[in-house]
C-alpha cells in the first residue's frame, strides 16, 4: 500500500508542478482516439455543424478563461496563515499553472476560430485533427482549473475557520 501511495504522490506532484504534462495527456488522448476510430471526431459532421462546434468550443474556452481570472483574484486577495504558506512554498508552481491556464484557453479559443476560418470545404482533413486536439486540450486544462479552484477554496476556508472568529460566519442549524 505504501508503494502505491508513494507512486500516486509522485504522479500528483509531477502533474501539479508541471502544467506542460497536459500537452502529453492531450497527445496520448488524441493518439488513442485515432487508433480506436481511425479518423478525427469531426469526420462525420457536415460543414454547418462543424462551424457550430468550433464557435461553441471557442466560447466555452473563453468563459473558462474568465473563471480562471476569478480564481486568480481569489488567490491574490486571500490572506491567512495557510494561504501565506501556500504562496511561499508553491507560489512559483501556482503562477505557472495560472499563466498556463489563461494561455491555453486563449490558444483553444483562437485555434478554434482559426480552424473555423480555414474550414472551407466539404471535408476538413488536418483541421479536424487540430480541432480535436484543441477540444481535448481545453478539457484537460479545465480539470486543472477545477483542481486549482478547489485548492484555493479549501485553503481559504481553513484560514477563515482558524482566524480567531472575526471573519468566520457561523451558521446554526435550525430544527423544525
- The answer, yes or no, to whether residue 32 has pLDDT greater than 90, is yes
Question: Quick one: pLDDT band at residue 59, thresholds 50, 70, 90?
Answer: very high
- Please tell me the distance from the alpha carbon of residue 148 to that of residue 153, in angstroms, as a whole number: 9
Rounded average pLDDT over 126-131: 90
pTM of the entire predicted model: 0.79
Return all residues near 114 (Cβ < 8 A) that are at least 6 apart: none
**Which stretch, 46-55, 70-79, 164-173, has highest mean pLDDT?**
46-55
Question: Quick one: pLDDT band at residue 141, thresholds 50, 70, 90?
Answer: very high
Amino acid at each position: 500500500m505504501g508503494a502505491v501511495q508513494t507512486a500516486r504522490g509522485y504522479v500528483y506532484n509531477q502533474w501539479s508542478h508541471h502544467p506542460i504534462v497536459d500537452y502529453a495527456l492531450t497527445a496520448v488522448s488524441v493518439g488513442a482516439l485515432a487508433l480506436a476510430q481511425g479518423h478525427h471526431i469531426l469526420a462525420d459532421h457536415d460543414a454547418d455543424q462543424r462551424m457550430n462546434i468550433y464557435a461553441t468550443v471557442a466560447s466555452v474556452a473563453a468563459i473558462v478563461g474568465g473563471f480562471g481570472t476569478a480564481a486568480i483574484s481569489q488567490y491574490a486577495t486571500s490572506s491567512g496563515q495557510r494561504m501565506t504558506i501556500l504562496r511561499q512554498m508553491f507560489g512559483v508552481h501556482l503562477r505557472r499553472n495560472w499563466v498556463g491556464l489563461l494561455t491555453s484557453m486563449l490558444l483553444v479559443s483562437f485555434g478554434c476560430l482559426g480552424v473555423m476560418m480555414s474550414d472551407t470545404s466539404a471535408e476538413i482533413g488536418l483541421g479536424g485533427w487540430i480541432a480535436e486536439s484543441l477540444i481535448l486540450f481545453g478539457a484537460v486544462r479545465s480539470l486543472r482549473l477545477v483542481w486549482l479552484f478547489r485548492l484555493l477554496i479549501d485553503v481559504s476556508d481553513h484560514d477563515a475557520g482558524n482566524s480567531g472568529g472575526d471573519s468566520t460566519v457561523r451558521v446554526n442549524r435550525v430544527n423544525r
